[in-house]
Amino acid sequence: MSLSRKKPLAVLLSQVAEHEGGLKRSLTWPGLIALGIGAIIGAGLFVRTAAASGEAAGPAVVLSFIVAATGCLFAGLCYAEFAAMIPIAGSAYTYAYVTMGELVAWVIGWALILEYALGAATLSIAWTEYLNKLTGGKLPYAWTHSPFETSPTGEHGTMNIIAVGILLLVTMLLIKGTSESAKVNSIIVAIKVGIVIAFIAVGWSFISPANHTPFMIPEGVPGHESFFQHGWGGVLRGAGIVFFAFIGFDAVSTAAQETKNPGKDMPIGILGSLAVCTLLYITFGWVLTGVSPYGEFLTSGKEASVAYAIEHHMAGYSWLATAVTVAILAGFTSVMLVMLLGQSRVFYSMSNDGLLPKLFSEVHPKFRTPYKCNWVLFVFVGIFGAFIPESVAGDLTSIGTLFAFVLVCIGVMIMRKTNPSQARPFRTPLVPIVPILGMIVCGTMILSLDRFTQLTAVVWMLIGFVVYFLYGKAHSRLAGKQVGDAVRAEATD
């Protein structure tokens, strides 16, 4: 069959009904919002905010958050329509399979590995940085950094063993069950949101107007010669960097098959978590850049930047630096949990479709979670967490996410043409304007990322094509079947 063969919508919807041995429906919209916030508030806020400010946007990182949030809003509206209409695990991969065909679905599934798996790796690295900060820098540099990193004193990294350890703990929790993971996540979310609000409330009085002037990095500043390192270009580049901060809301859609009432709960979970976090992000970015000059985030304040800003510019609040560090560690843990949850559900769907080996969809007989997939992901993500620097993993996460968002926006327009009468509990407004705007904003952020990230992503996709043509294409459940046969076969499962 053609590479554009599509999974019939009738087949997909027939899989929605929970059957014995399948994923358990246990989530409602409050849990989904907490799940989204759990994924969104993490390294993007506590690490990438300072990185975007220092590298490209300066104090105007708050505008970068607005640009990134705008792209996410457009994409989020498209995600909400799909998640409510097709409440099944797999997120953007599943949507693409129905609307644009198998090859595009494979491409987006492969791109989601950059989003979820490398997102979790980035968080495990950031987790190590803040644990080291909490211990007063007593952890050995060699065993908390990748071999591609060197300390200011010339010490070389060997392996980030701490990152591997926290990934192991999160993996074991995910295998135990989605409901248990969601409960732990909700507790962590309450803690870290409280600390974020405390930082904003206390830090507001320490804002120095001089740190916000000029608001954008002016042309001619050393180290900011490129178009995407100053002015509005820097704002766009900053948006591409902090975009990592918004990847959580689409992870909510991967839990659709474990949601009790997806038609109602999915749109609330996706858009609700996005709205709450965007407000916190903009306020947080304003306070952080007002408390500390953006230039320090490239030098002495590069690691554990929030704790650095408190200790050096907020006299009398050293206790808050410790509280922030503890909350950040808890927050990073919850984000890793949601990222690995999302990735395992994407693999679960791809395996059910035959594009990946069967072990990725084998469910634990007691816990009803894809436990073998979780273990494989632990090994893969652990390698990246142990040996890859945070900046590389973070930018690759952003580009994978942005690419997935673009395809989801396209998918909504296609589905409106091919299946206009399909029931839609939630409808994206102003189609095709909203999807087109989502494509433009997300596409612009892709172009703003550095050339190394773009080329690495291309190489990653080429590897994905090799895997598809060597395995996925031949093992696809639609291979060699007429669509009608596929529908009848699935209907009898």
Extract long-range pairs of 152-157: CB within 8 Å, 24+ residues apart: none
Instruction: Write down the pLDDT at residue 21.
Output: 46
pTM score, whole prediction? 0.71
Instruction: Write down the pLDDT at residue 391.
Output: 65
Q: Are 252 and 59 in contact (CB under 8 A)?
A: no
Instruction: Write down the pLDDT at residue 487.
Output: 45
What are the residue ranges in the chain where pLDDT is below 70? 1-4, 11-26, 38-39, 42-44, 87-91, 177-182, 185, 248-251, 254-257, 301-303, 390-394, 480-493
Strand partners, 27: 259
Domains assigned to the chain: 9-16+24-491 (1.20.1740.10)
Strand partners, 150: 156
Residue 125: closest CA among 165, 93, 98? 165
Instruction: Write down the pLDDT at residue 45.
Output: 77
Instruction: Write down the pLDDT at residue 133.
Output: 77
Q: Are 254 and 340 in contact (CB under 8 A)?
A: no
Task: State how far the Cα of 397 lies from the Cα of 392, in Å rounded to an integer.
Answer: 9
**Who's near 229: CB < 8 A, 6+ residues apart?**
55, 56, 217, 223, 237
- Give residue 405's Cα distance to chain centre: 11
CA distances (Å), 49 to each of 42, 59, 75, 244, 287, in order?
10, 10, 21, 10, 11
Instruction: Write down the pLDDT at residue 482.
Output: 42
Instruction: Write down the pLDDT at residue 47.
Output: 74
